[in-house]
Amino acid sequence: MSDKRVKNAWAFYDWANSVYSLVISTAIFPIYYNSVAQEKIHFLGADLESATLYSYSLAFSFLIVAVISPFLSGIADYAGNKKGFLKFFAWMGSLACMSLFFFDADNIFYGLSMSVLASVGFWGSLVFYNAFLPEIAKPEEQDSLSAKGFSLGYIGSSLLLILNLVMISLPETFGFADTAAATRFSFLLVGVWWIGFAQITFRRLPTNVHHRKPKEDGYIWRGFRELKSVAKQLNEAGNLRKFLYSFFFYSIGVQTVILLASLFGDQELELESGKLIATILIIQFVGIAGANLFAFLSRKWGNLQSLKISIVVWGLICVLAYLLSKDDPWVEYKFYAIGGLVGLVMGGIQAISRSTYSKLLPETESSASFFSFFDVTEKVAIICGTFVYGLLIQLTGDMKASALALSVFFLIGFLQILRIRKGKEVF
């Protein structure tokens, strides 16, 4: 199947959901959380740094997705209902974002709980969204289509972020009592944007591509058997398994940097929120070019060569972050430059990782189950990364040491890439 309208609608879901990853995960929510949360928060008998508790809450959300998505994907493949699960998680995430409108200093744990639900909705929906890629596009189209999705995501999320920043900077002009009220309204807008534009995707994506006709009983058991069959195929596919090993290690670094970069700039470098937002916008707009650049490199040199280049740059970013000092008069501009490097490789490594995995898949009708392993690999990586990052902060009080530690994961990921045998899919 290769219908242009379907492919465009698929890519447009990145436009819809990326406002969550930018506004909630990366830009406004972490800064707002840091402004309303006390420096130390008592949780489960311990006094934790607020940044550590936030890091742990994110890790918990990824753990939920990692546990439930394989079983749900097995059921979705058996029933031929990936779109139904995509809708469920999209609605969950968007409604949780809207609920953050009520988050303030008096209900910290409510805010963290809603951010966990929003994270589960976002990442859970991506399992089923990504699984459509091998069904709607030919292998030679998948790199460019994956990059198109990320590019649309960067554009759409940047537009909404700019609108939110204008509201937050001029709250009285928009009828808000103060900056905090405008900030909370931005969370509401994220949810509305997400689920509103997602309707375009829902309308066009096909239902039950392989025309499966499940029996009415035993969905969970049959879904589990579907998953077991996919696990066996995955274990027998040497290159696919090796790619997942590499993906696991470099994803620890990539996702941890994306999720916690603004907290690093805020707490470690003591940069003003306006400068942090400027850096994030630099990342977004450079990311548009970066996603398309690496799609071009993959056509010219192959997917794995493109990934190697990207991983090396990511490792360099970690080292450069470690060398930053808040006492350096040029720290602001160095942070911008590092942000530009992040943007260059962020979209590239994500887009090419998704399409590389899709190309390495065997002929199958169980794409959701295969992509659940891709997703679980990424989520477990994020859990490990955010936990290690938070633990090092708690033990050392130094975010720079945590940033440097991430470079080790990129090195391991690079070494794993070298183990993959040459093949037509990715060379």
pLDDT tens for each residue of 314-350? 999 888 888 888 888 888 888 888 888 888 888 788 8
**For residue 66, what pLDDT is reported?**
79
Identify which has the larger pLDDT, 9 or 367.
9
Each residue's pLDDT tens digit, 29-44: 888 887 887 766 766 6
Backbone angles phi, psi at 364, to 5 degrees: -155, 155
| Residue 209 in this model has a pLDDT that exceeds 70 | no
pLDDT band of 190, cuts 50, 70, 90: very high
Q: Is the pLDDT of residue 223 over 60?
A: no
pTM (2 d.p.): 0.78
pLDDT-derived band at 354 (thresholds 50, 70, 90) equals confident
Q: What is the mean pLDDT of residues 139-167?
A: 87
Question: Domains of the chain by range and CATH?
Answer: 4-417 (1.20.1250.20)
